[in-house]
A and B are shown apart, each in its own frame.
Chain A
Amino acid sequence: MHELGITRSIVEIAERHAREQGAVRVISLTVQIGALSGVIAEAVEFAFEVCAQDSLLEGARLIIDAVPGRGRCRACGAESAMDRFTYACPHCDALALDCIQGEELRILELEVD
């Protein structure tokens, strides 16, 4: 359950930015979570309300931007979906997929007041 710590970081980072910009509250925040990041979006959603208590994020809407995994084959160059760490290229079977998308774990934007 490292999502609890992750969610605390989300609140900490968002609150710091909001304060720096003189906001009095955060209305919504958009968080990008890649399918290969090792973080379960549902667990973040579950932890968010508790972590946001007594911060500028209390009552804020959490928008999760789920990023699917994608890989590019070093052998044949083809791109394919890569929703788990499986390095077999579906086009040529080589164990040579490089992950090009899906490891994101970022706060994208805040809507503040």
Chain B
Amino acid sequence: MTTQVTATENTTATTGVRDPLVIAGHGFGSRLIMGTGGAPSLHILEEALTASGTEMTTVAMRRVSTQTEGSVWDVLRRNGIRPLPNTAGCFTATEALRTARLAREALGTEWVKLEVVADERTLLPDPVELLDAAEHLVDDGFIVLPYTNDDPVLARRLEQVGCAAVMPLGSPIGSGLGIRNPHNIELIVEQAGVPVILDAGIGTASEAALAMELGCDAVLLASAVTRAHEPVLMASAMRDAVTAGRGARLAGRIPVRRYAEASSPAPE
């Protein structure tokens, strides 16, 4: 495991926040980005978001329903949390562009979490449609944060077309399988000139910490908190895990050795 820090980790604070996460010139004090899907109620979601310390949270765009009670949009505004609309449910670049433009109109933000998936069973990103959508959205003035495969080549291409961050998956959405290919995540981190946000697959706190130790700049998760037995408790655990992993990354871990190395001085 490399201990070399990336350029984005050393970004000078512009907001007064110590060690901020900076995306497209905007500083965040928290490196945990939350999703809102799967929460048992808006009340529990609000408590979990507060406990997580998150400053940015994803929402989806769907048709207005008269059956809908309460509003996640109101929850975010009440707590001063920046909305990050996603394009979940889109299978083509055309659909993603339309959803992003509707989200920009509805929420007044140019930030978008770009999701273009290949099929319902895996929800894995479709790399061809994803890159096409990213290029068009950047040209249209969006701040694009793409959910991508753990593919260093695709991550590089997304950065080259102007994405503000890259968000490789640890494993499929909602699977809780953790980070299946840490080596690829490290490769993405090593080459990236924009923040790398580990998105999807996190199941528990140690996996969020591992993402940060691998050099990711932030972690995005939802199900691990919203579907936990105690969502609020897991949210605070994730907050601590991301902070701990970030600290360990910056501190620099000791080299892995094959045999013991005494930490006490040898006897006289």
Our verdict on whether A and B bind, yes or no, reads: no
